[in-house]
Amino acid sequence: CVCVCVSLGFSLCLLFLLLIFFSSPSSFFMAAKEPEKLDKPRVVVFTANSNTGLATVKYLASKYAGQVRIRAVVRSKKKSADLFKGLDVEVMEADIMQPSLLPAVFQNDVNAAYFATPNTQNRVELVKKFVDVCVEYGVDFPVLLTSLEADRKVTTVQKQMAEIEDYANLKKGTPVKRQLWDTGKQVLQPIILRSALFYQNFYGSVAGIQQGTLYYPLGEGSIPHVDIEDIGACIGNILMVPEPHAGKTYNLIGEYQAGNQIATSFTRVLANGVKYVDVDDETALEAFKALGFPEWQAISFVETLIYYREGGGQGIASDIKAITGADPKRFHQFVKDRIKPMI
């Protein structure tokens, strides 16, 4: 009798559970509830206090105000607090090499993120780690900044950037880990931006320009360079709608200029005339070190200038307008906006 009662009780209990499941299967699996869809896309900008990181955050906060949730990641909120005043962004502390801090950075279904390639000797390792983290946390579209003609692997910087690109492309197509209810169709699709040198590098030449002279080791050659704000605009637009850019590589160039053309840009905007004076590589190296460049970085920068001076990186079409819909800023406009107020 006891066995019959137990058996009957078990059967009734099982029937009750089955009725609940078929009438409302989602309520049966409350613990495995599908994550709520966000009303706005959420993007992550790693090293948001860097030059290109900050430019990206400012562009997103201005251009797409109210349309995107921006997560600005820095190593120290206290040191970076003033940078983000007045901007509608979520500032978070994290380090790509500290795994315990990363779950919070990528929570709530982030599918696009930018990692500003740092000016450190271990930058290849850091960017590779970022790519791996994107796979681990379900970021379909990692955006990476490298250098023009990285695949030629002539200069030290190109070799480093080529290693980054090769690693990202090796991981391309890898299924990324997503939420419980994901269909498994998401794969890593890195987006690579090959940048020219920055207009902002000429901040270091202001003292000479005030005296009417631009010293630079360009000989008769020319350099491709670009405004960091245009780079931020490109990254921002890609983060907002990454799908059309999936797996692509772009070149970001503002314009090409020879040394005398750069000096002429300063002359046009500033009241005083500025002449270009070519200097030898050793003098340039010592000047960059005097500006605070670590020796390895000063050597790499001079090496890059030699590469351009001798004809490398010439004649490359810029993709900035294709990404942003606007022409890149010209150097003389940068001088007017940024250098003139400093003099």
Rounded Cα distance between 213 and 22, Å, is 81
Pairing of strands 222-226, 255-258: antiparallel
- Amino acid of residue 162: A
The predicted-structure confidence for 203-224, as pLDDT tens digits, reads as follows 999 999 999 999 999 999 999 9
Q: Whose structure tokens read 């794969």?
A: 187
Q: Which residues are paired to 216 by β-bridges?
A: 278
Packing angle of the helix pair 295-309, 281-290 (nearest 10 deg): 140
Q: Which ranges of the chain have pLDDT less than 70? A: 1-38, 178-184
CB 232 within 8 A of CB 56: yes
Residue (of 173, 172, 144, 136) closest to 160 by Cα position: 144
Helix (H) or strand (E) segment spanning residue 81: none
Helix (H, G, I), strand (E, B) or coil at 258: strand
The pLDDT score that the predictor gives to residue 5 is 38
First to last CA, the chain: 100
Residue 220: Cβ within 10 Å count: 9
d(CA 330, CA 23): 64
Alpha-carbon distance values, 89 to 68, 71, 81, 164, 333 (Å): 9, 6, 11, 28, 29
The secondary structure of 140-193, three-state, reads CEEEEEEECCHHHCCCHHHHHHHHHHHHHHHHCCCECCCCCCCCCCCECCCEEE
The predicted structure's pLDDT at residue 183: 56
pLDDT confidence of residue 106: 94
Sheet holding 222-226, edge to edge: 197-198, 222-226, 255-258
Residue 87 tokens, joined: 């901007």
